C-alpha cells in the first residue's frame, strides 16, 4: 500500500477500536470536513501520529497528505454513522470496494440514476481538489442513505485524494479512475442484471 493509504487504514482501525469505536473522534469527523476547524482538533492526535514527518506541515497550512487523510476519515465517519455493529471499512485485500464502484449500484437503479449521475459528473469534471473532496463527501452521504452497508476502501480513497491535489493532470487521472469504477460493468454484472 502507498503511505497515505497505509496511514488512513491505520487510523480507521484505531477509531474502530475492535468494536469499541471512538465516538468523540467519529462525531468530530462527521461534523467538519476541514482539518483546521476547531472541532477537528480531537482528530489530530491520531492523524498526526500516523503520518510520516515529511507529510506534516511546518507552517500550519495543511499539507496534501494531511488534507487527504482527513477527508477520507470524514467520508468514513459519515458512512459509519449509526452502525455500531461492524466496521464499514475494508481494504482491497479484504473485499473492500472502491467508493465509486459502490456508487455504481445507484447508477444501475433507474430511480436514482439521473440524480446520482449529475453529481458524479460534477465530481469527474472538476479539477479543484477542495470542491472534489467536498462533493465526494456528499456522495458518501447519498450512498449511505440508499444502500445496504457495503465495505468501502476508504484508505484507497485517501490515496486518491492525495494524488488529485498535485496537478490538473493528476486530478484528471483520478477522475478517469473513478469514472472507470462508476461506469464500467463486467460481463458477469450485465448477465446478472438480465436474470
pLDDT along the chain (195 residues), means of 10: 90 88 93 94 96 94 96 95 74 81 90 92 94 96 83 94 95 96 70 49
Mean pLDDT of the chain: 89
Give residue 195's pLDDT.
47
Within its chain, how far is the Cα of 189 from the centroid?
A: 24
What is the per-residue pLDDT for 149? 73
User: Which CATH number characterizes residue 37's domain?
Assistant: 1.10.520.40
CB 103 within 8 A of CB 143: yes
List the one residue out of 156, 155, 115 whose CA is nearest residue 138: 115
Question: pLDDT digit string (tens) for 98-121?
Answer: 999 999 989 988 898 999 999 999
- Domain range for 90: 3-194
The model carries a pTM of: 0.90
Q: For the purposes of burial, counting CB atoms within 10 Å of the CB of 3, is it exposed (0-12), middle (13-18) or buried (19 or more)?
A: middle
Burial 133-149 (b: 16+ CB within 10 A, else e): bbbbbebbebbbeeeeb
Q: Number of folded domains in the chain?
A: 1
φ, ψ for residue 97, nearest 5 deg? -100, 140
The residue among 3, 47, 43 whose CA lies nearest residue 162 is 3
Amino acid at each position: 500500500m502507498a503511505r497515505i493509504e497505509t496511514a488512513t487504514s491505520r487510523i480507521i482501525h484505531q477509531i474502530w477500536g475492535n468494536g469499541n469505536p471512538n465516538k468523540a473522534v467519529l462525531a468530530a469527523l462527521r461534523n467538519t470536513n476541514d482539518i483546521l476547524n476547531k472541532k477537528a482538533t480531537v482528530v489530530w492526535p491520531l492523524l498526526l501520529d500516523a503520518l510520516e514527518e515529511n507529510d506534516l506541515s511546518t507552517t500550519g497550512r495543511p499539507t496534501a497528505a494531511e488534507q487527504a487523510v482527513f477527508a477520507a476519515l470524514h467520508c468514513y465517519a459519515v458512512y459509519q454513522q449509526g452502525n455500531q455493529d461492524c466496521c464499514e471499512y475494508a481494504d482491497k485485500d479484504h473485499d473492500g470496494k472502491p467508493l465509486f464502484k459502490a456508487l455504481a449500484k445507484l447508477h444501475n437503479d433507474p430511480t436514482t440514476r439521473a440524480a446520482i449521475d449529475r453529481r458524479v459528473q460534477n465530481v469527474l469534471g472538476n479539477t479543484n481538489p477542495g470542491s472534489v473532496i467536498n462533493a465526494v463527501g456528499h456522495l458518501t452521504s447519498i450512498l449511505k442513505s440508499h444502500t445496504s452497508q457495503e465495505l468501502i476502501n476508504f484508505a484507497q480513497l485517501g490515496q486518491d485524494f492525495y494524488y488529485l491535489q498535485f496537478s490538473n493532470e493528476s486530478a484528471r487521472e483520478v477522475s478517469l479512475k473513478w469514472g472507470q469504477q462508476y461506469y464500467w460493468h463486467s460481463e458477469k454484472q450485465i448477465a446478472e442484471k438480465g436474470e
